[in-house]
Amino acid sequence: MFPETMIKQKGLGLPAAIFVITVLAVIITAMSSIQTRSGQSLSLQANSYRAFYAAESGAQLALNLLIPPDGSAGRQCDTSPFYARTFAVTGLQNCSVSVACSSSVSGTDTFYTITSSGQCGSASDRAWREIEVMVK
């Protein structure tokens, strides 16, 4: 009924197909893992930038309180924290800043050091940045 050449075949197709499917499954799993880690890294990087800008905004707001642009008497540097805020503006949601201020006198000059700490994100991907500014 069958030609003699077909009877002598041992069936290499099924093991080869199983091998190819297994290799493809491993590759797809590895690519999925890389994609997940890449997404988490991107989220942490975005929170890092946001925390930096929150800290920078806090330092600038504190400078306006310490040395008002209109020349009026500024706030004293002895309160702790000097300035604290949770942001609600677009781009800085879920971010907060805490600013500390210290002063030192050298001769007739008073130097102020403002340390602004910004943090953004949730517990699993929180980023924290600190900026220090010294003014006379």
- Give 40-89 pLDDT, tens digit per residue: 777 788 889 999 999 999 999 988 988 888 878 777 887 777 888 888 88
Has residue 4 got a pLDDT over 90?
A: no
Give the full edge-to-edge strand order of the sheet including 109-120.
83-86, 95-106, 109-120, 127-135
Q: What share of the chain in percent tops pLDDT 70?
A: 91
Alpha carbons 47 and 120: distance in angstroms, whole number = 6
Residue 100, number of CB atoms within 10 A of its CB: 19
- C-alpha dist (Å) from residue 91 to 1, 5, 84, 119: 77, 72, 18, 13
